[in-house]
């Protein structure tokens, strides 16, 4: 198994596999209300069997080359994750996303982890366009898109029904050339 360091704070990005079901469920239980404010991810996973089923779904997506799931561990404890919700290498498009339990919020973990995913997608797989979807009210998620240098393409007004409330969904994206230019500027400045 591999682990990619996300910095000097003990944070790592690792594959999130079906055999992590118990740990994944415990993590979801710690953050269920926080995670579920804007997204339904993990809301139906209430026991080890259902948690494992979700992880199997994403393992199958990775095997089919159309998605994938990675966990964020902080000091050896699963605290969140990032994913390729969709991945289409033929068309050169993918969608990245995230979730995080509240104890890990505010540390830049998602921004650092998604940077690893985008670097890989663009440089290794030739992805041309990376998308990010966020409820307009989910300011932390919108701020991640901004920190990643994405452009807001538009707003899908009241397009997502979550917990009985219609939410506006913002669509953000970054193109491969934009990503490379921003990464080159960052490297030059450091």
SS (H, E, C) 56-105: HHHHHHHHCCCCEEEEEEECCEEEEEEEEEEEECCCCEEEEEEEECHHHC
Report all structural domains of the chain as residue ranges with CATH numbers, in order of start: 4-189 (3.40.630.30)
Mean pLDDT is lowest, of 29-43, 88-102, 130-144, for 29-43
pLDDT digits (tens, 9 = 90+) for 113-122: 999 999 999 9
pLDDT of amino acid 91: 97
The model's pTM is: 0.93
Burial class, 3, CB count within 10 angstroms (exposed 0-12 / middle 13-18 / buried 19+): exposed
CB atoms within 10 A of CB 22: 11
Residue 97's pLDDT band (boundaries 50, 70, 90)? very high
DSSP run (H or E) holding 134: strand 129-135
pLDDT band at residue 42 under the 50/70/90 scheme: confident
pLDDT value of residue 1: 63
């Amino acid at each position: 198994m591999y682990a990619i360091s996300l910095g000097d704070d003990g944070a790592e990005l690792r594959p999130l596999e079906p055999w992590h079901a118990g740990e994944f469920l415990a993590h979801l239980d710690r953050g269920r209300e926080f995670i579920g404010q804007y997204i339904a991810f993990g809301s139906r996973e209430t026991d080890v069997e259902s948690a494992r089923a979700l992880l199997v779904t994403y393992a199958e997506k990775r095997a089919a080359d159309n998605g994938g799931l990675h966990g964020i561990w902080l000091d050896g404890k699963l605290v969140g994750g990032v994913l390729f919700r969709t991945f289409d290498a033929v068309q050169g498009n993918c969608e990245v996303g995230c979730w995080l339990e509240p104890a890990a919020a505010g540390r830049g973990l998602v921004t650092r982890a998604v940077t690893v995913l985008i670097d890989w997608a663009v440089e290794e797989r030739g992805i041309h366009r990376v998308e990010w979807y966020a409820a307009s009210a989910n300011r932390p998620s919108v701020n991640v898109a901004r920190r990643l240098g994405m452009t807001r393409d538009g707003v899908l007004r009241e397009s997502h029904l979550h917990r009985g409330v219609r939410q506006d969904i913002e669509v953000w994206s970054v193109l491969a050339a934009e990503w490379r230019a921003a990464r080159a500027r960052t490297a030059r400045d450091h």
